[in-house]
Amino acid sequence: MKKSRGSSVALAGLVGGLVVGGWWLGRGRDDPATGAKEEPAYADASDDFDDTSDEPGDVVVDFADDVDSAYVEHLGARLGVRFAPDSDYVDHDRIYRARVDPDGERALLDTLRADPKVEAAEEDLTLSIPEADLEGEPEGIRDTASEQRGKFPNDPRFNEQWHLAQIHMPDTWDAAKGEGVIVAVIDTGVTRTQDLQQTEFVPGWNFVNNSANTDDDHGHGTHVAGTIAQSTNNGVGVAGVAYRAKIMPLKVLSAQGSGSVSGIADAIRWASDHGAKVINMSLGGRMGSQVLGKAVKYAHDHGTTVVCAAGNDGKGKVSYPAAYAGAVAVAATQKDEATTFYSNWGKEIDVAAPGGNTRNDPTGGVLQNTMFQGKDDYYFFMGTSMASPHVAGVAALIVGQGITDPDAVERVLKETARQPKGGKSVPADFKQHYGAGIVDAAAAVRKAQLGMGGFELSAAGALAALVLGRLRRRDLLARFGLGGVAALVVGASGLFFLPQLHVHAPAMALLSHGFPAWDQALGASWHGNLLFYSALAPVLLGVLFYGFPRLRGLIAGFALGVAGHLFAQAWLGAVDIRWMPWDHAWLVGNGLLATAIAYVAARK
């Protein structure tokens, strides 16, 4: 009879876990409406991008990563060409350029593609900034401090940033600020303007001049970086989405706003290998590139969320790299939440975000601080280039909550996106223009915090019910004690609901996350650390304190909490485990080990 009651408790716990898990997962990872994009063909997608190479005879070759320099040099000598790197990073990614006679280019490419050590070979195209991105006028620094004095944020011109209100940022900052998340801005560089002085930067690279100087000689990249992480609540200028995130400036576009595919592909790999958890690319081109597509896939497969502008042609073709599977393609909206006249559309669109429209309203663009035409000022720009960093910033907020797997980040973005206001302006082919809808920062962070935390705690509770059922006990508190129950919560989820209650407390990152996610205290780029996402801590506690009977309830509770956290992550696929190619097997195996430790401790 007791066994039957224990089984009922276990069943109730499992049902509770599945209900919460189902809520978090929404329509599921494999639903065609929210799943990954089909890999598009390499096709013409825009007439407004300049894709003719600056050097018509240049080709780009992506060799296998295990190829050495001697092989590349020998092959070049045999083919009569000189392979040269775009940057010092060539020793890692093996991407080379070669200048060839245009008449012999096709034959050379055919020969290279037949080489088993060549992964891709093609003409080195040029990608660029859509001209619409630069439409807008400097607005200057106006004294509106009185309007914001005593408010949060206290940036004097925040009230002009309609675009942050559109994605519900004012309702988000109490719960998330993007602490420690590295966001790579692959663009024209980033200059440390007056309103980026308090924003944290990490070292980047200049792939145009092959140097460490990543200053912006154009203005586009600095404006983009401001949307992502403008210094906020500093009493100066304007605000940014994830203002506690770290900016990694990677210059791939020249002062004229264009750059080679080879340099951009180098930068994507560089960013992912140097700790960037989010990449923003507000650039594009009409032709697909195998080298570029492989670089996007590399970053995605290495745990980096790639966010890209859809393009400014006003046509039904999404530009590259946004069109690639593995990239989050972003369309642009304006003040009234309609999609803009210039925004590209198509089945590859994932979400929409504010890009602005200054044609009839000079203040209808996205307002950020940048250095443009030699002047450090505040500019309203418009373009899908302005929409993309809003999404990259929200992605950083999600990553900051412990969801680091790119597919899981994209899933949260889509499942929390909202419908635009004013149904009359919504096109019949809604998904091709908006994707899942307008990105909603508050809803995304809420789902990341409550959904994942609730699922982790439910999973731990279900495991506790199973263990109690096996031991023919029904009373969790009597078996583990109050300390054991508290230890279960600490191990599983922490007080995950605190940020949504706008509670401010020291060590909030530790209080509001389960023990495995405490690795975020080392920095967001460390999240998924093997030492934390394992049964190591329960094993050590068991070895050290099993001999103390009064502590066995604590050991059992903590071990069950950690096991629940690991099983939840194995199911959700939300965390990319660092240095481990078999995430699922690792999490399940360590979850079983932690459960076994709990069972042994609870028996006595």
Which tens digits make up the pLDDT trace of 99-141?
888 888 889 999 999 999 999 998 888 888 865 555 555 444 4
Average pLDDT estimate for 243-268: 95
Q: What gap in Å lies between CA 561 and CA 581, rounded to an integer?
A: 24
Answer for the pair 155, 235: CB distance below 8 angstroms, yes or no: yes
Residue pair 193/249 in contact (Cβ under 8 Å)? The answer is no
Residue 187 bears catalytic tag: yes
Q: Which of 5-14, 21-30, 43-52, 256-265 has the lowest mean pLDDT?
A: 43-52
* CATH number for the domain harbouring residue 99: 3.30.70
Instruction: Indicate whether 84 and 193 sit together in one domain.
Output: no
Is residue 358 a part of any domain in this protein? Answer: yes
Mean pLDDT of 301-320: 95
Active site residue 143: no
| Weakest mean pLDDT among 97-111, 341-355, 470-484, 572-586 | 470-484
Residue 133: inside a domain, yes or no? no
Q: What is the pLDDT of residue 311?
A: 95
Residue 150 counted as domain residue: no
What is the average pLDDT across 440-448?
Answer: 95
How open is the CA angle 211-390-304, to the nearest 5 degrees? 55
**Do 411 and 477 lie in a common domain?**
no
Nearest to 173, CA basis, from 158, 156, 194: 158
Residues 394, 431, single domain; the answer is yes
Judged against a pLDDT cut of 50, whether residue 339 lies above it is answered with yes
Q: Which domain holds residue 83?
A: 58-124
**Does position 76 have pLDDT exceeding 70, yes or no?**
yes
- Of 83-87, 221-225, 413-417, 523-527, least confident by mean pLDDT is 523-527
Per annotation, catalytic residue among 51, 155, 187, 440: 187
In 3-state terms, what secondary structure has residue 424?
helix
What's this model's pTM, rounded to 2 decimal places? 0.81
Q: Are residues 249 and 396 in the same domain?
A: yes
Residues 297 and 228 in one domain: yes
Distance from first CA to last CA of the chain, Å, rounded? Answer: 22
Q: Quick one: 279 and 387 in the same domain?
A: yes
Residue 403 has pLDDT above 80, yes or no: yes
Among the listed residues 385, 512, 525, 534, the single catalytic one is 385
**pLDDT band of 9, cuts 50, 70, 90:** very low
Total domains in the chain come to 3
- Please say whether the beta carbons of 303 and 410 come within 8 A: no
**Averaged pLDDT of the chain:** 84
Give the model's pLDDT for residue 175: 87
pLDDT at site 333: 97
50 pLDDT higher than 60: no
Given a cut of 90, whether residue 5 has pLDDT beyond it is no
For 241, the 3-state DSSP assignment is: coil
Grade residue 423 by pLDDT with cuts at 50, 70 and 90. low
Q: Domain check: are 549 and 483 in the same one?
A: yes
Residues 275 and 408 in one domain: yes
pLDDT for 460 equals 92
| Domain end among 386, 416, 439 | 439
Q: Are residues 186 and 163 in the same domain?
A: yes
**146 occurs within a structural domain:** no
pLDDT at 89: 77
Going from the C-alpha of 457 to that of each of 548, 554, 574, the distances in angstroms are: 27, 16, 15
The pLDDT of residue 55 is above 70: no
